[in-house]
Amino acid sequence: MLSVSFFQRDPLTCSRELIGCELVWDDCAGIVVETEAYLAEGDEACHTFARKSAREFIQAHEAGAAYIYLNYGVHWLLNALIKGGSQDGFILIRAVQPTRGIELMQQRRKLSAITQLGDGPGKLTQAMNVRGLDHGTSLCSDPRRWFLLKGPQGEVMADKRIGISKAAHHMWRFLLKDSEFDSRKPSH
């Protein structure tokens, strides 16, 4: 399992290197195929820019903690806390390729198509049952929830982050090239 030290480095490096790792969450698991990096300082799209609670979260938690919040009042979104490297930040998990617990994911998503179980940040949390009460729990020490290093699964490419109005030009979205499980095709 990825240890705390993995998350104590530069957020952009962590975001890129999480691609190809397997996210294990209780009875379900999937290969991470898409992430986005958010920087705690100087990034207007990061929660720390407007939310006191996000800044306090960084203070109060160790690197590798799960930062989970409700988006648009509908979807839980899963992030990993990056802390203690050159700069702090968050990595948003945007898409996974299901590997374990697929039947459970199909039940929760009310869908059978494997490619649609985790091809979006809100979809994968629904499929894997990631909820608000898991906010703050560690992704480095909980025996049921961790990241597994699996080695390169293909070519990783960078693209602009999705769905944000501020600081939208940064190429801080990382995805597995040509994966059917990405939430969106790259823009160029």
Partner DNA sequence: ACACGGATACTA
Partner DNA sequence: AGTATCCGTGTC
Shortest Å, Cβ 143 to DNA: 26
Residue that the structure tokens 């939310």 belong to? 51
Q: Smaller CB distance to DNA: residue 72 or 151?
A: 72
The DSSP H or E segment spanning 54 is: helix 52-60
Shortest Å, Cβ 144 to DNA: 23
Question: Side-chain half-sphere of 5: how many Cα atoms within 13 Å?
Answer: 0
Closest to 172 (Cα-Cα) out of 53, 66, 59, 44: 44
Q: Smaller CB distance to DNA: residue 149 or 168?
A: 168
Q: Smaller CB distance to DNA: residue 20 or 122?
A: 122
Under the rule (CB under 7 A), what is the footprint of DNA?
36, 38, 45-47, 50-54, 69-75, 77, 79, 90, 92, 109, 111, 116, 120-123, 126, 161-166, 183
Shortest Å, Cβ 56 to DNA: 8
Shortest Å, Cβ 132 to DNA: 7
Q: Smaller CB distance to DNA: residue 137 or 141?
A: 137
Structure tokens at 163: 């769905």
- One DSSP character per residue, 146-169 reads EEE-----S-EEEE--SS-SSSTT
Closest to 23 (Cα-Cα) out of 12, 13, 34: 34
Question: Side-chain half-sphere of 160: how many Cα atoms within 13 Å?
Answer: 10
Shortest Å, Cβ 106 to DNA: 12
Q: Smaller CB distance to DNA: residue 51 or 177?
A: 51
